[in-house]
Amino acid sequence: MVALVREGSDIRNLLGLDVETAKGDLADPDSLKRAMRGCEAVFHAAAEYTLWSPEPNRLYKTNVEGTVNVLSAARDAGVSRAVYTSTVGALGNKGYGTPGTEDTPVTLSDMVGHYKRSKFLAEREAERYASEGFPVVIVNPSTPVGPHDIKPTPTGRIIVDFVNGAMPAYLDTGLNLVDVGDVAEGHILAMEKGVPGRKYILGNRDMTLKEILDLLSSITGIPAPKVRLPYWSVYPMALVSTAISDYLTRRPPVAPIEAVRMARKLMYFDPSRAVGELGLPQSPVEAALERAVEWFAANGYTKGR
């Protein structure tokens, strides 16, 4: 097994695994071809996952152009099968509590922010390769939770902020949580059983943000915030916070406007296709959250708690 890593990347999550590393970059097609030499299958899970960037164009270069480079290299290398990691953010969702599916109608204009737009366009590229005969299976993870979130991702940041007491209030929104281990298993199942060109939601349980915070409270003993902020009160604060980051600090905003705009919808999704066709596990999200809390504490993200 070969893992593509950029020069200077944090590879702590690869330590102790029976995996060979190959230096390369999504923007360097030659490095991709070298890394894939002799490989039978490719998992393309690399992406820039951020709800704010000082260089928004970089998201399109990484997420869209990088996907084209990976799939082109895989096709040229004679790879027999590929799995492309998209996101439920690229799928249709009415947002009123009705779960979205792989077939819910959606257009580019439905995408909020650069991250979602870039992943939507990248998914279209994966579909194009599949239509041209290259066997690409698409998976759409929902909101994975669990250990080893070294960045942390925006999802992990919710947990870290809660434990560190940096979440005094909450918005009325909702997410579909899934154990990150089930997401990993879903990738393998998609490689083994997935239909090329077909999409599979790797998700599990729809929960309001209040329910997630209450569950974190039961795990940690830390009181959950009781104040629910209306959307109209948070939106102007997010505009100011993002503007300060864009034009002054060039550091991530406290409240990215993209995150607040996304929160207007209940991001609920139906994983029935992946469960039925692939056998996607549905492990309890309570245990996944508990492991995430323990890992963040053990690795210094939540010191003093």
Q: For the residues of 180-212, what is the DSSP string, one character each?
A: HHHHHHHHHHHHHHPPTT-EEEE--EEEEHHHH
Question: pLDDT of 62-103, one tens digit each?
Answer: 999 999 999 999 999 999 999 999 999 999 998 888 999 999
What confidence score (pLDDT) does residue 50 get? 86
How many domains does the structure of the chain reveal?
1
From CA 259, how far away is CA 236, in angstroms rounded?
Answer: 13
Mode of pairing for the β-strands spanning 81-85 and 41-44: parallel
Average pLDDT value for residue range 2-16: 91
Does the pLDDT of residue 304 top 70, yes or no?
no
Does residue 303 lie in a domain region?
no
pLDDT band for 257, please (50, 70, 90 cuts): confident
- In a domain? residue 138: yes
pLDDT at 249 over 90: no
If one compares 21 and 305, the residue with the highest pLDDT of the two is 21
Percent of the chain that is helix, strand, coil (3-state, to 5): 45, 15, 40
In a domain, 131, yes or no: yes
Confidence of residue 45 (pLDDT cuts 50, 70, 90): very high
**Residue 49 placed within a domain:** yes
The token duo for 11 is 């590879």
For the residues 113-137, what does the mean pLDDT come to?
97
Q: What are phi and psi of 143, to 5 degrees?
A: -120, 90
pTM, rounded to two decimals: 0.94
Domain assignment of residue 304, yes or no = no
Query: 1: which 2 tokens?
Result: 């097994």
- 73 Cβ contact list (under 8 Å, min separation 6): 29, 32, 33, 36
Task: Give the span between the Cα atoms of 238 and 255, in whole angstroms.
Answer: 5
Lowest mean pLDDT of 107-116, 160-169, 200-209, 225-234, name the range: 225-234
Find out whether the peptide bond into 152 is cis, omega within 30 degrees of 0.
yes
Percentage of residues of the chain with pLDDT beyond 90: 76
Outline where DSSP puts E strands in 8-49.
20-23, 41-44
Q: Are 269 and 142 in contact (CB under 8 A)?
A: yes
Domain containing 98 equals 2-298
Q: What angle do CA 115, 31, 86 make, to 5 degrees?
A: 25
Q: How far apart are CA 188 and CA 140, in angstroms?
A: 13
Kindly state whether residue 248 falls inside one of the protein's structural domains.
yes
Nearest to 260 by CA among 112, 60, 95, 114: 112
- 136-145, 170-179, 234-243: least confident range: 234-243
CB of 53 closer than 8 Å to CB of 190: no
305 — pLDDT class (breaks 50, 70, 90): low
Quick one: average pLDDT of 252-260?
82
Classify residue 305: in a domain, yes or no.
no
Residue 145 has pLDDT above 80, yes or no: yes
* pLDDT for residue 251: 85
pLDDT digits (tens, 9 = 90+) for 162-185: 999 998 888 889 999 999 999 999
Question: What CATH number has the domain bearing residue 67?
Answer: 3.40.50.720
